[in-house]
Each structure stands twice: as C-alpha cells, then as structure tokens.
C-alpha cells in the first residue's frame, strides 16, 4: 500500500510588506498548525519522505508539523517548483516517486492541492482549507500505478475540527 499525505500550509499573514512567497504564518496559523500537529499522532504509517514548497508559510507549517511527524532532515526537500504547482505537475511528481517510500507527504498550496485530492479519490471538495490534511491510500506497490479515483480517503482533518 502507498499513502499520500497532502498538507496545505496554515493561515498566513496578509500584509503588503511581504511578497506572496515570503508571507509568514499568522498567529492564528501558528495555533492551527500546532493543533493539527497534535492530531498527526494518529497517522498509522510513518512518513518516509516530505516534499515541501519553499514558500515561507509552507516551511513554517512543516516545521510545526514535524514536531510530531519526526521526519529526518535528509528526508525533507524544499522545492521552488512546488510553489503554486498545478495538480498536473503534482500528479507527475507522485508518479515519479521512488517505490522505496510507502508514505510520502506534500506540503503546498491551493488550488493545485484541492484538485489533487479530488483527482485521487473522486471526491468533490471545494477547498482544502489552510492547515488541512488530506490522506489518501492506494492499494498498489508502484506509485506509477496510482490514478484517477484509485485512492481511498484515509482521513481528512482541518484545524476548525480541532478547536475547543
């Protein structure tokens, strides 16, 4: 079985002094990411590899999530190509993943991530909210065998579900 975790960055600052790429998490975003990180202890399969956009808000989100995920630094890569990547680009990336990895995570941005979620499960979610985690399982041994509506939704958690 292959597992794909799709994480959208937590809420970012909306301030004109930052370019979109440089926007840090807002205070709400930090709190949401911390709540989401605590919920990640329920992941059954440890994450083998993380691919993260190099935008400030995704890097900060991953730093908070990784307090729970505990992915080794050498198994995390930050890539400019993931900044605002389309779902088509992400699908190509998934199909090219090494089969030595059973559970891979992407940390990135909408709209590509929402479309990716819908592509793999056939769901029609309108938005993967900021800080959201969408987890898909595939009954395959090869990432190239993943495809449209071939995934099963293993979990969908958003920060709003975890607020007291």
User: Which CATH number fits the domain that encloses residue 15?
Assistant: 3.40.50.1240
Please tell me the predicted confidence (pLDDT) of residue 71.
96
Quick one: pLDDT at residue 104? Answer: 98
Q: What is the mean pLDDT of residues 72-91?
A: 97
The whole-number pLDDT of residue 120 equals 98
Instruction: Return d(Cα 6, Cα 160) in angstroms, integer.
Output: 17
Measured CA to CA, the distance from residue 44 to residue 126 in angstroms comes to 27
Domain span holding position 28: 2-162
**At a CB cut-off of 8 Å and minimum separation 6, what does 155 contact?**
42, 133, 134, 135
Q: What is the pTM of this model?
A: 0.95
For residues 26-43, average pLDDT:
92
Output the pLDDT for position 164: 76
Residue-level pLDDT at 44: 64
Determine the average pLDDT of the residues in 82-110: 97
Number of structural domains the chain divides into: 1
pLDDT band at 42; cut points 50, 70, 90: confident
In this model, does residue 65 exceed pLDDT 90?
yes
| Listed residue (153, 160, 163, 159) closest to 5, CA to CA | 153
Orientation angle between helical segments 112-121 and 87-95, nearest 10 degrees: 60
């Amino acid at each position: 079985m292959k597992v794909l975790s799709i994480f959208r960055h937590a809420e970012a600052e909306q301030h004109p002094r930052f370019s979109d790429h440089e926007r840090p998490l807002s205070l709400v975003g930090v709190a949401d990411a911390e709540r989401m990180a605590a919920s990640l202890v329920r992941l059954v399969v440890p994450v083998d590899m993380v691919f993260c956009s190099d935008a400030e808000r995704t890097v900060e989100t991953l730093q908070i999530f990784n307090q729970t995920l505990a992915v080794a630094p050498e198994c995390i890569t930050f890539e400019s190509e993931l900044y605002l990547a389309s779902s088509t680009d992400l699908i190509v990336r998934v199909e090219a993943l090494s089969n030595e990895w059973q559970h891979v995570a992407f940390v990135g941005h909408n709209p590509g991530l929402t479309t990716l979620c819908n592509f793999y499960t056939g769901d029609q979610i309108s938005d993967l909210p900021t800080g959201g985690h969408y987890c898909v399982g595939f009954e395959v041994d090869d990432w190239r065998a993943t495809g449209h509506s071939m995934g099963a939704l293993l979990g969908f958690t958003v920060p709003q579900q975890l607020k007291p």
